[in-house]
Amino acid sequence: MPIAILDDATIGKISAGEVIERPASVVKELVENALDAHAHSITIDIAAGGKELIRVRDDGDGIAPSDLLSAVERHTTSKLRSFEDLKQLTSFGFRGEALASVAAVADLRILTRIADDRAGWELRSEFGKRAHPAPVAAAHGTTITARDLFANVPARRKFLRQDGTEAGYIQRVINAYALAFPDIRFELTIDGKTALATDGSGDLASAAVGVFGADVAAQMVPLEPPQFDDDHEDAGIVVSGLIGLPTVTRGNRQQLILLVNRRWIENRSLAFALEQSYHTLIMVGRYPIAVISITVPPDRVDVNVHPTKREVRFSDERLVFSMLQRAARGTLMQQTPAQSIPIMIESPLSADTVQRRMALANPERIQATPPLFPRAADGPSAVDRPVRTPVAVEPDIPLLRVLGQVSSTYIIAEGPDGMYLVDQHAAHERILLEKVLKLHARGAADAQQLLEPIIIDLTPEQLATVETAREELAQLGFALELFGQGSVALRSIPAIMSRKDPVKTVLAILDEVGRGGRGTSRFEAVAMTTACHSAIRAGQTLSLAEMRELLAQLEGCTAPRACAHGRPTILHLSQDELERQFSRR
């Protein structure tokens, strides 16, 4: 093909691809424009994940009629005149690309009125075809409506995920900006229902209530600035925000929001700095909730690293990193540690002692259903073991008599020496993990065929996990085959998972394994995650028979005292301790 200059429509579609990846990108650009226009109130309405409709309404400066046409041209901006200006930039926009990009791939309507004008103006642009602006009645400010996004780029449209997923991405954008601008009122409606509303009072804690909900926001505390720190004053860097107490965590990083000069950014090393400050305070695989706001002089941060402006480069990255980490750690340490109950996991009891005592107390219990996993009969008994017992060979648990359930989460039981509380989820997780590991050791897997294969849409990361952990997933009983672009067909699942929603569970497992998981091998990581997601949940009411069965199976485990993550499965309040607590002694 001879070389030729591309026509405008083609250039438009190509460059739109860089800025506008999905509906959430449109929302982000439109909200940023409203912010640049000094809005006090921004309302966002979306329908069908933003594919059908995105509407962003602001009460900002408006666009002068003489500027309306150029607003949708490429590289037209009112915010930047020369490359030098970039160094002192305080606006979100500067590339002049966003509106032009949206105009190239959507049915776009701009309705706007500047304060000085009596009438407003409307500009319609259908997939790049512009009509002349027409005068209309309009409130002061700007409303931009984008419909049928990517209808003229079917390849893009096909790449979009389900409505709910796309709406989730949009919600994240609005969460971030609502937290970055507590002084601005945000409202998001998804298919007509209010998904978020902040009051614009200027108080970050109030904005957090709007974004995270009152329960979670109540467990967040202001980040204390690091003490005895002169470096940052010279550099003009300020770190502030709200961080979640260790009592409130999430299974992913989606609620860790990083803002630099009120710009929502992605930065692995800062996320890591924050996570590290929670080290030992929250469990492995759990992530803190936080909104971290970093203020840096504009000339010490480069925002022009990527077309979507989600990445930034600091000239003092290490300083920012250590400031955040010290601030977060200091804040967490100031919070009084959680109340600890005077209960310790008891020291090992010999299996013999248990059998003897239980036989006296409860003879028929000894004849209980044979455990699924016989205990290692020929190993040394618990009391013979050296004190430095490695975690992997924890002592057995005594035989227990079920009394009931607390909070639909803990099984309360009586044992040879007092009272025992068993975390039903942790216990079941341990049982399932040992079950699959044992099968695996024999080179077997307990797979359950699905009646019909299920097609599941995956994110690129989830797909990558299917590729890398293909063998291990198969060894556990997952039959997953690539199915078209971005999807897999699920044909079988591990039998232990059969009571769970297969799609949700598979996605959760892929996400967790994709993040690295735990375990000494990839198989173990996959097995642990699968056990965790297959286990009964906290909050599930169990019958007496189910609780008995659970404990019987737990007794049969080789390491019954810790779940797959190392959390305890059992707490023990000894007879002595009971007597002391009730002042009988």
Binding interface with ligand ADP (CB under 6 A) = 29, 33-34, 36-37, 58, 60-63, 71, 76-79, 93-100, 142
- The least CB distance from residue 123 to ligand ADP, in Å, is 11
Is the sign of the CA dihedral 87, 88, 92, 93 positive or negative?
A: negative
- The least CB distance from residue 124 to ligand ADP, in Å, is 15
Token pair in block for residue 33: 């424009």
- The least CB distance from residue 489 to ligand ADP, in Å, is 41
- The least CB distance from residue 75 to ligand ADP, in Å, is 9
- The least CB distance from residue 56 to ligand ADP, in Å, is 7
Distance CA 359, CA 103 (A): 80
Binding of residue 348 to Mg ion (CB under 5 A)? no
Beta carbons of 285 and 204 less than 8 angstroms apart: no
With respect to Mg ion, which residue has the nearer C-beta, 60 or 93? 93
With respect to ligand ADP, which residue has the nearer C-beta, 69 or 403? 69
Distance CA 394, CA 569 (A): 12
* Nearest C-alpha neighbor of 49 from the set 32, 27, 74: 27
Stretch that binds Mg ion, among 32-40, 315-323, 340-348, 408-416 (CB under 5 A): 32-40
- Which of 25, 33, 43, 171 is in the footprint of Mg ion by CB under 5 A? 33
Beta carbons of 42 and 36 less than 8 angstroms apart: no
With respect to ligand ADP, which residue has the nearer C-beta, 97 or 472? 97
- The least CB distance from residue 92 to Mg ion, in Å, is 6
Residue nearest to Mg ion (CB): 93
Binding of residue 527 to Mg ion (CB under 5 A)? no
- Taking the CA atoms of residue 135, residue 75, residue 59 and residue 214 in that order, the dihedral angle to the nearest 10 degrees is 140
Token pair in block for residue 567: 């959390």
With respect to ligand ADP, which residue has the nearer C-beta, 63 or 552? 63
- The least CB distance from residue 302 to Mg ion, in Å, is 18
- The least CB distance from residue 171 to ligand ADP, in Å, is 21
With respect to ligand ADP, which residue has the nearer C-beta, 76 or 308? 76
- The least CB distance from residue 91 to ligand ADP, in Å, is 7
- The least CB distance from residue 296 to ligand ADP, in Å, is 21
SS3 341: coil
Binding of residue 46 to Mg ion (CB under 5 A)? no
With respect to ligand ADP, which residue has the nearer C-beta, 61 or 166? 61
With CB under 5 to 8 Å by kind, the binding choice for 78 among ligand ADP, Mg ion, none is ligand ADP
Distance CA 189, CA 43 (A): 8
Beta-bridged to residue 410, according to DSSP, are 406, 423
With respect to ligand ADP, which residue has the nearer C-beta, 75 or 504? 75
With CB under 5 to 8 Å by kind, the binding choice for 61 among ligand ADP, Mg ion, none is ligand ADP
With respect to ligand ADP, which residue has the nearer C-beta, 96 or 519? 96
Measured between alpha carbons, how far is residue 557 from residues 140, 311, 335, 358, 419 in Å? 69, 48, 37, 19, 20
Measured between alpha carbons, how far is residue 503 from residues 86, 158, 491, 492, 507 in Å? 46, 21, 11, 11, 6
Token pair in block for residue 178: 């609502």
The pattern of x and - marking residues 71 through 110 that bind Mg ion according to CB under 5 A reads ----------------------x----x------------
Q: Residue 484 CB: number of other CB atoms within 10 A?
A: 10
Binding of residue 207 to Mg ion (CB under 5 A)? no
Is the sign of the CA dihedral 360, 364, 367, 373 positive or negative?
A: negative
Binding of residue 60 to Mg ion (CB under 5 A)? no
* Nearest C-alpha neighbor of 190 from the set 26, 27, 44, 31: 44
With respect to ligand ADP, which residue has the nearer C-beta, 108 or 273? 108
With respect to ligand ADP, which residue has the nearer C-beta, 77 or 475? 77
With CB under 5 to 8 Å by kind, the binding choice for 258 among ligand ADP, Mg ion, none is none
With CB under 5 to 8 Å by kind, the binding choice for 531 among ligand ADP, Mg ion, none is none
With respect to ligand ADP, which residue has the nearer C-beta, 184 or 493? 184
Token pair in block for residue 175: 């969460």
Stretch that binds Mg ion, among 12-20, 27-35, 305-313, 374-382 (CB under 5 A): 27-35
- The least CB distance from residue 174 to Mg ion, in Å, is 16
Residue nearest to ligand ADP (CB): 93
Beta carbons of 182 and 201 less than 8 angstroms apart: yes
Beta carbons of 562 and 390 less than 8 angstroms apart: no
The pattern of x and - marking residues 448 through 487 that bind Mg ion according to CB under 5 A reads ----------------------------------------
Measured between alpha carbons, how far is residue 450 from residues 473, 480, 502, 510, 583 in Å? 16, 12, 10, 19, 58
- The least CB distance from residue 156 to ligand ADP, in Å, is 19
With CB under 5 to 8 Å by kind, the binding choice for 34 among Mg ion, ligand ADP, none is ligand ADP
With respect to ligand ADP, which residue has the nearer C-beta, 34 or 496? 34
Binding of residue 12 to Mg ion (CB under 5 A)? no
With CB under 5 to 8 Å by kind, the binding choice for 257 among ligand ADP, Mg ion, none is none
Beta carbons of 156 and 17 less than 8 angstroms apart: yes
- The least CB distance from residue 427 to ligand ADP, in Å, is 55
Distance CA 203, CA 211 (A): 13
With respect to ligand ADP, which residue has the nearer C-beta, 68 or 559? 68
Is the sign of the CA dihedral 435, 440, 443, 447 positive or negative?
A: positive
Residue by residue, DSSP assigns 235-280 as HT-EEEEEEE-TTSEESSSTTEEEEETTEEE--HHHHHHHHHHTTT
Count, residues near Mg ion per rule CB under 5 A: 3
Alpha-helical segments (H) within 41-109: 65-71, 98-105
Write the burial class of residue 582 (CB in 10 Å: 0-12 exposed, 13-18 middle, 19+ buried).
Answer: exposed
Phi, psi of 438 (to 5 degrees): -65, -45
- Chain residues that interact with Mg ion, rule: CB under 5 A: 33, 93, 98
